[in-house]
A and B are shown apart, each in its own frame.
Chain A
Amino acid sequence: MTTSTVDSPARRSSRGGRVLRYVLLVVVACVVLGPIYWLVTSALKPTADIYTYPPTWIPNPLHLRWSNFADAWHAAPFGRFFLNSLIVTAIGTVGEMLCATLCAYAFAFLRFPFKKVLFGVLLGAMMVPGHVTLLPNYLTISDLGWINTYQGLIFPGLGSVFATFLLRQHMMTLPGEVLDAAKVDGAGHLRTMFRVVLPLSRPMLITAGVITLVAKWNDFIWPLIVTNSTNMRTVPIGLLFLKTQEGYNNWGAIMAATVLVIVPVLVVFFFAQRQIVAGLTQGATKG
């Protein structure tokens, strides 16, 4: 509890460093939040206020245009789009995580011939851009008669190299003693996986799960290609229904619909965030 009038040089520089750090943090926060702020406020403005110069940064609180949301909701069957997105994202994420976990476990702990080669092939698949597989996938799904169905939307996305890779790398870091102990106690592979490996991998599972979920929720090209009718569309394509190619766009409604689309993802992220952060710090202290 000293009240020294003169700070030591070291102390001053650290305070200066802290100020600089905070300034940088504020700048980064603005860069990240700026577009989101613009999106949310635009969703509450009348169209003419969205495209004005100089820009209206703060919408008039007395004239917030909440009807943008109603306009968007009624312009296309968004209820149906949300239902479809929910089904596809939920089943798709669970399925993909299941496949990825099983696959990662196999590559991490099982011994089988050509393991390294196969893993190399798997990694190689990560380098193939999605567009290359688009047409073959489409033809396969079409031959199965799955165009415009939930199976068609979900199945091709179930195999995920990225989540597999992420989980496998994490599983490799798990201490071998724990696994040996499980083995001594008579646990088979499935029991070891569900009782030992997965609980230890929880933060990584959640991280991979959130990444997968966001990717599925936002996916645009595949749902556009594989569904035909309005009733089978997902929300990102729903946004397309609001925008015309030439002529007049009701930007207020488009912004409002976009807000509706990103809210579920934000909510999920909000809840998962603590887990992700916990996972990261856990790893940090261990290291």
Chain B
Amino acid sequence: MVAPARLSRRSLLAASGGAALALTAAGCGGGSGGGNGFAQASGDKVPDKYAKRTRVVVWHAYSGNPGTAITELAKRFNESQSDVYVEAQFQGTYDETAQKVTAAVQAKKIPDLVTFSEVNWHNFYLNDLLEPLDGYFGSGLKRSAYNQKLLSEGVLKDKLWWLPLARSTPIFYYNKTLFHKAGLPDRGPATWDEWRDWSKQIKGLKVKGKQVKMEAYQKVDGDWQFQGSVWQWGGAYSNGLNVAIDQDPAVAAGEWQRELIFKDKMAYMADSPSVDFQNQLIATLVTSTGGLQGMTEAAEKGKWEVGTAFVPKKEQQVVPTGGGGFGMLAYSPKDRKQAAWKFIEFCGKAENSAYWTLTTGYLPVIDAAVDEPDLKKRLADDPNFSTAVKQLDIVRKEDEVRLMVPNANILIYTGLQKIWANNTPAKQVFTDVAGQLKKATDKVRKNIEKHI
């Protein structure tokens, strides 16, 4: 009575075991190794007409309009020549893309080109995963074609590791209609002190029954805008790897914002300051150039006008940059690296760079792009669009600790939240943050110093 059951159980086990084995064997047949043990990331079947070309896999972090733009660039590139086939694969946010590259390197199945954020590429550089790009420039794409300030942000130890692509900077947005109502001039303030004087005139204005405030601070990732503030006040997050956020200028910048929130009552911390600006809850805002399209559309809908200007100065006039760029993985074999460079050359053509900027709203990274007819027209027609391009003269690369120390940005913006929400004195907060930053820096100092 028991025997048949046992038999069926055993035969079942045998059957499933056999099936698993068969699948494993099939799987082993599928994987193929490269010369150095690194294979290429898999993807779709290459279309027949491109089958004989060198296949290049690009992992990118662009969805929405930028996603459309990079897919279109890959398509145009594939149609423009007959040697290389680029497959552009979207992998989520910059952070998700970076995590995936890490996993891919461990699994030894890697893409050839990756778009890294201004923070992320450093991690890969520090782990010797990036290819220096200096040797690839030539008649197809000259080094001088790039905006030199943006290009120089990808240089470490006199070598270029990261090419600018989707770059942006914070600019100053203001509500022209509210400025007019308050009797203020139709321009951005030259200095933060002037701005604070103006805030007194904005005080008392109401839109839809709501008191209008002067500005709002972004709860998460607000440390990017604050990087600019610290510089404008004459300080820094760090000088080299020496943490400086607890020094006077940074503390003064923090205190300034604390006073605006708790004494002047003209600012506050918000989840999405851009949305509040679009709904006229705040009259001015410092945020990424990438937000322009959304602001313009909301302004049209709400029947008011949006203006842009340079970010005001205090001791200095300077802003950080942000966004993404191309890195090439060093473990990719030589022929694929050269093929990948062909795609970079294609993106670096003035007309393609102009197309990218027009579709995405990112800064033109190729200087000649601004002379392309379409972009030239757009810049002339829309003064707000050209503010960001003009502001390129005052950009600076972010401080090393924020860029290279893991989670430094989180430590800083969590500190800022205490100033903005709990009214904690900036000196106290930044002393605390500096302590944590120093500890985190010491953990990676050796490796960083070897690499810079």
Interface residues of A (CB under 8 A from B): 46-48, 51-54, 75, 135, 138-139, 142-148, 151, 183, 186, 188-190, 224-225, 228-232, 237, 240-250
User: A186-B1, A245-B61 are known contacts. Are A48 and B297 too (CB-CB below 8 A)?
Assistant: yes
Min distance, Cβ B39 to any Cβ of chain A, angstroms: 9
A105 to B65, CA, bound (A): 52
- Against A, the Cβ 8 Å flags (1 = close, 0 = not) of B86-114 are 01011111101000100100111100000
CB < 8 Å neighbour of B208 from A54, A147, A249: A54
A128 to chain B, nearest CB (A): 18
A228:B42 contact, CB within 8 angstroms: yes
Residues of A within 8 A of B281 (CB): 53
Interface residues of B in 142-193 (CB under 8 A from A): 168
Residues of A contacting B403 in the complex (Cβ-Cβ under 8 angstroms):
none
Closest chain B CB from A190 CB (angstroms): 5
Cβ of B428 < 8 Å from any Cβ of A? no
Instruction: Point out the residues of chain A lying under 8 angstroms from B42, CB to CB.
Output: 147-148, 228-229
A237 to B30, CA, bound (A): 26
Query: Does B361 belong to the interface (CB within 8 Å)?
Result: yes
Select the stretch in B287-295, B342-350, B438-446 that faces chain A: B287-295
B36-91 residues at the A interface, CB under 8 angstroms = 41-44, 57, 59, 61-67, 87, 89-91
Measured between alpha carbons, how far is A161 from B224 in the docked complex, in Å?
Answer: 43
Alpha-carbon distance A39/B356, docked complex (angstroms): 32
Q: Identify B5's interface contact among A190, A229, A230, A243, CB under 8 A.
A: A190
Task: Please tell me if B260 contacts chain A, counting CB pairs below 8 Å.
Answer: no
**In the complex, residue of chain A having the shortest beta-carbon distance to the beta carbon of B109:** A142
Q: How far is the CA of A249 from the CA of B274 in the complex (A)?
A: 12
Assuming A224-B92, A240-B92, is B294 touching A144 (CB within 8 A)? no
Interface residues on B, range: 35 or more
B138 close to A (CB within 8 Å)? no
> Do A148 and B43 have beta carbons less than 8 Å apart?
yes
Does any Cβ of A come within 8 Å of B28's Cβ?
Answer: yes
Interface residue B210 (Cβ < 8 Å from any Cβ of A): yes
From A146, A245, A247, B293 is in contact (CB under 8 Å) with A247
Query: Contacts A47-B297, A147-B42, A224-B92 given: A247-B290 contact, CB under 8 Å?
Result: yes
Q: Which residues of B contact A242 (CB under 8 A)?
A: 63-64
> CA A237 – CA B29 in complex, angstroms?
29
Distance of A124 Cα from B12 Cα, bound (Å): 27
Residues in A neighbouring B275, C-beta threshold 8 A: 51
- B contact set with A: CB distance below 8 Å: 1, 4-5, 8-9, 12, 23-24, 27-31, 41-44, 57, 59, 61-67, 87, 89-94, 96, 100, 103, 106-109, 168, 208, 210, 275, 278-279, 281, 288, 290-294, 297-298, 301-302, 323, 360-361
B323: nearest chain-A partner, CB-CB: A246
- Contact yes or no, A241 B100, CB < 8 A: no
Report the separation of the CA atoms of residues A241 and B92 in the bound assembly, to the nearest whole angstrom: 8
Q: In the bound complex, do residue A143 and residue B107 qualify as a contact, i.e. CB atoms below 8 Å apart? A: yes
- In Å, the complex CA distance between A135 and B29 comes to 22
Give the distance to chain A from B439, nearest Cβ to Cβ, in Å. 25
- Residues of chain A contacted by B109 (CB below 8 angstroms): 142, 147
Chain A residue at smallest Cβ distance from B294: A248
Q: Which residue of A lies closest to B64 (CB)?
A: A244
Nearest CB of A to B304, in Å: 12
- Residue numbers in A under 8 Å from B66 (CB-CB): 244
**Residue pair A188, B8 in contact (C-beta under 8 Å):** yes
Residues of chain A with a CB closer than 8 A to B59's CB: 228
Given that A48-B301, A53-B210 are known contacts, is A135 also in contact with B92, CB under 8 Å in the complex?
no
Asked if A230 contacts B89 (CB within 8 A), the reply is: yes
Report the minimal beta-carbon distance from A131 to chain B, rounded to whole angstroms. Answer: 11
- Cα of A250 to Cα of B293 in the assembled complex, Å: 11
- CA–CA, A151 and B31, complex, Å: 14
Question: Which residues of A lie under 8 Å from residue B41 when comparing CB positions?
Answer: 147, 228
10 closest A-B pairs by beta carbon, nearest first, are A145-B30, A144-B27, A244-B64, A247-B290, A142-B107, A48-B301, A145-B31, A246-B290, A188-B5, A229-B43
Contact A248 B64 (CB under 8 A): yes
Which residue from B107, B108, B288 sits with its C-beta under 8 Å from A246? B288
Q: Which B residue's beta carbon lies closest to that of A233?
A: B90
Are B28 and A145 neighbours in the complex by a CB distance under 8 Å? yes
What distance in Å separates the Cβ of A135 from its nearest Cβ neighbour in chain B? 6
Check if A246 sits within 8 Å of B291, measured CB to CB. Answer: yes
Known: A143-B31, A145-B31. A230 touches B90 (CB 8 A): yes
A266 to B424, CA, bound (A): 47
Complex CA gap A240/B288 in Å reads: 21
Whether A183 lies near B31 (C-beta < 8 A) is no
With the chains together, A139 CA to B106 CA distance in Å?
7
Closest B residue, CB atoms, query A155: B23
CB distance from B222 to the nearest CB of A (A): 14
Specify which of B23, B61, B91, B94 is in contact with A151 (CB 8 Å cutoff): B23
| Contact of B291 with A248 in the complex, beta carbons under 8 Å | yes
A90 to chain B, nearest CB (A): 19
CB distance from A108 to the nearest CB of B (A): 14
Choice from B63, B65, B96, B291 contacting A224 with Cβ under 8 Å: B96
B208 — which chain A residues lie within 8 A by C-beta?
53-54
A135-B106, A151-B23, A245-B93 given. 20 additional CB < 8 A pairs?
A51-B279, A139-B106, A139-B107, A142-B108, A144-B24, A144-B28, A145-B29, A146-B30, A188-B4, A188-B5, A228-B59, A229-B43, A242-B63, A244-B63, A244-B65, A244-B67, A246-B323, A247-B65, A248-B64, A250-B64
Contacts A144-B28, A228-B42, A247-B291 known; A241 to B5 CB distance under 8 Å? no
